[in-house]
Structure 1
């Protein structure tokens, strides 16, 4: 009875507090599912079930690939291909994010060096970093410096993407670590820019190299007048600060044409290409561009 009451309490908290929930068999199933998936995730690295996909970042005026974003996927033996939204939160809760994040960084750096050895490497490769990696993973800076040195990564070739919420959460405790990241040889990008509640002062206080406009605004173009206005303001702010911008989740030519007219020349999304395995990304890089009917 106490266990069931505890599960109902946690459900009430998850749904926003100031409410009550009754216990149901569904909660028991969720607990068993959580426990099973946690154990399977811990074994996924040893079983080589994780894989990196790469999504191109494309310059509109030329169709040239100017960067790639590395995105982790889990080839689950029973569930098939799982996207990060389904297992990264679990990894953060259980501490598995530390070995998982280190694996992603090492594999991405290794792949970047392989492309550079072939003479086809993009100007930069972006890697997502969660707040948990910076807050609970001891030795994050040391691991970053070691991987950059091991794979002979040049300054700015690896870019760490942090959301606004991650930036706000980590700068309160680990602001000095973020300030040291560029000195280690990596650059910093703010992902989902415009959706968080961080102070704009962070843009001047920390060495931010790029902003990635949040997909909710891009998807609202051209129907949503507010999305258009907010996007223009963010692009204007970035120009004033001398910060480069990438538009995420571009899906149509109309969206892309608006972004170009507003001054954003680099896009990423299904309009150009979905995230692909390294072999397919290598084909893109050999051509030097992504071929779409509109480019």
Structure 2
């Protein structure tokens, strides 16, 4: 062998040896990683199987519960004879034995033994108690159904405890699986780093092809390492790994198999998380309606109570029971009944607010938790009432199922709660009592557990109904209160709407005006007041001694915010022939400042017609001089609460002085309402207030009683006859 050959062997020998060693180590590492992946995959599969078995127990016992309930109902109504009851008893006993064997297998599995801290023993004990009572219940059906029902209720208590232990085991299994996944991920990452370091060493030692191969291998390993990091940190049920999938399709040998193992591991994690999501769904959601179940409702109710304690707000619990559902379910079958419940669940879910909860409790009974309500009981009840009305309107829509139309109504019970800690079960019982009261009083209605709140709402509904009739039957009338100048000469009147009920007599405006504001009745009432006042102005315009009189008309926010309000005023002035300069519209501070630019635009348009404006109850809001000087106002009206004590209260006196000075600075007339004594009038006159309104001059009175207080009217013919020649 010549020197060149020896030198070549000398140079290439160590490189080949190093390359062989590196390949052997690489092969061993890859093989070890593959084995780890396979072990993890097998363990993950076993874990998922155990978790699936645990999640299925609630469903299996639910089916047994349903069969027991069917047997009990059959025994009570006599539709099942003793032989049939015995057969059902035997079938239930067999099902319980089979389920007991599954539970025994579960609690003795290695994963449960490793992860459990006593829940498995409790699970077995509660199941045995549950099985004993259910067997006793079905065994006693043919003898005494009431005894059977008692046994069944005791069995249900153990079923609830069993469900808690089953849920606890599920959580422990999930935690154990997560710990195992984390450990496997760390092992895989550590081995991947070792293989990567070996690849880097090979890159330095090998030339040419060795460098290229090592670079290629290191890139693949980086993809695998990134995939492992993604698997460890991603909590989604679907985890995309496009680079590893490409490596699995294109790669050959150990890298391709390793990529396949990573993908298999990913699939196992996805199955685990899907199983966890399924277990959570079964534990907290109703399988038929997909709404939260009773357990979730109780959790949300507890959170709502805690929220009331923090924010000093109120909440409410509602129970809704469908009227006549059993009749439809029995006549048309369970399939139609289930579809009907699903439709109802969808409608109810759409009516509640984002922070509220609606749940299906059992059968055709639904529960609501309404949070963040008004701290005042009456206002909170009104908010709940709006939601109830929306629910009733939604349920009132016909439901079309398999070519047939169904109509459904509901009876609803409501109870309010506040920051005072109350029992969850007590709140549900209160709502249930109110719901049964609604059923007993005719169904298709709602009742509050608090009798005072219920009476208030019923009175409100009755008053609103009467008010609608009052508008239709023209029971409303206008009263007028005088407005005088410094010499007590009448300059005009304020129009005040009054309601004379045929049975109740005079109804206070404090009762029906807020009710009209809440409903749509304020619009026709406001238009009627405007039209009646303008008709009176037209009559006075034909009488020279009264042509200078004005009428102030209060305008509500809803009325003023109508898009065609200006056109309405223009049309009323044209139809009645009233002089626009004699009409004075009184606006509140809150109305004027709600949308300043739009308000000014409307006021300027009406001002161009000749209509004047007064700001009512000035001083009670938060008016800014910046806005006041831009508003086309003619008058400021001092609120009567400031006038009442101006002679005895220095604070009120200063406020009134400031308002009068502000009005004079803005070149506005100032009128004070609520003037009852000459001392008050003298004080106001001394400060520069030149117009007054109050009981000192007249109470509000109908037009017939107002006539003697006005300047005597003279017809145009009489005026011509008395004119000097």
TM-score normalized by the length of structure 1? 0.88
| 8 Å Cα contact 1:55/1:269 also seen in 2 | yes
Correspondence list, 1:1-295, <5 A: 2=318, 9=373, 11-12=376-377, 14=379, 20=418, 24-60=450-486, 62-119=487-544, 120-135=546-561, 137-171=562-596, 173-287=598-712
| CA displacement 1:165-187 (0-9 Å, x = unmatched) | 22122436544222322123311
> Counterparts of 1:5 and 1:97 in 2: how far apart (Å)?
33
Cα 1:265–1:9 change in 2 (3 A) is same
Aligned to 1:293: none
| 8 Å Cα contact 2:541/2:578 also seen in 1 | no
Question: Which entry has the higher C-alpha Rg, 1 or 2?
Answer: 2
96-105 or 195-204: which moved more? 195-204
> Counterparts of 1:117 and 1:83 in 2: how far apart (Å)?
34
Aligned to 1:291: none
> Counterparts of 1:202 and 1:225 in 2: how far apart (Å)?
28
Q: CA deviation at 1:156?
A: 2.0
> Counterparts of 2:638 and 2:613 in 1: how far apart (Å)?
14
Cα 1:34–1:172 change in 2 (3 A) is farther
> Counterparts of 2:701 and 2:369 in 1: how far apart (Å)?
45
Which sections of structure 1, spanning at least 5 residues, go unmatched?
A: 289-295
Q: CA deviation at 1:277?
A: 0.6
Q: CA deviation at 1:20?
A: 2.4
Matched residue of 1:156: which SS?
helix
> Counterparts of 2:598 and 2:676 in 1: how far apart (Å)?
37
Higher helix share: 2
Q: CA deviation at 1:198?
A: 2.3
Cα 1:282–1:146 change in 2 (3 A) is same
| 8 Å Cα contact 1:98/1:133 also seen in 2 | yes
> Counterparts of 2:468 and 2:651 in 1: how far apart (Å)?
43
| CA displacement 1:30-66 (0-9 Å, x = unmatched) | 2211211112111212211000000000112x22101
Higher RCO by CA contacts (8 Å cutoff, separation 6 or greater): 1
> Counterparts of 1:175 and 1:257 in 2: how far apart (Å)?
35
Higher strand share: 1
| 8 Å Cα contact 2:475/2:501 also seen in 1 | yes
| 8 Å Cα contact 1:65/1:122 also seen in 2 | no
| 8 Å Cα contact 1:12/1:21 also seen in 2 | no
Matched residue of 2:499: which SS?
strand
Matched residue of 1:178: which SS?
helix
Cα 1:126–1:196 change in 2 (3 A) is same
| 8 Å Cα contact 1:76/1:82 also seen in 2 | yes
| CA displacement 1:126-174 (0-9 Å, x = unmatched) | 0000111122x44211110011112222242100001112212243654
| CA displacement 1:227-284 (0-9 Å, x = unmatched) | 1111111111111111001110001111011001111121100011001111122221
> Counterparts of 1:229 and 1:90 in 2: how far apart (Å)?
35
Aligned length: 284
Cα 1:134–1:21 change in 2 (3 A) is farther
> Counterparts of 1:13 and 1:82 in 2: how far apart (Å)?
21
Cα 1:8–1:88 change in 2 (3 A) is farther
- Moved segments of 4+, more than 3 Å: 3-15, 172-175
Matched residue of 1:81: which SS?
strand
Which sections of structure 2, spanning at least 5 residues, go unmatched?
A: 1-316, 320-367, 381-416, 421-448, 714-725
| 8 Å Cα contact 2:494/2:552 also seen in 1 | yes
223-232 or 279-288: which moved more? 279-288
> Counterparts of 2:573 and 2:481 in 1: how far apart (Å)?
21
Matched residue of 2:581: which SS?
coil
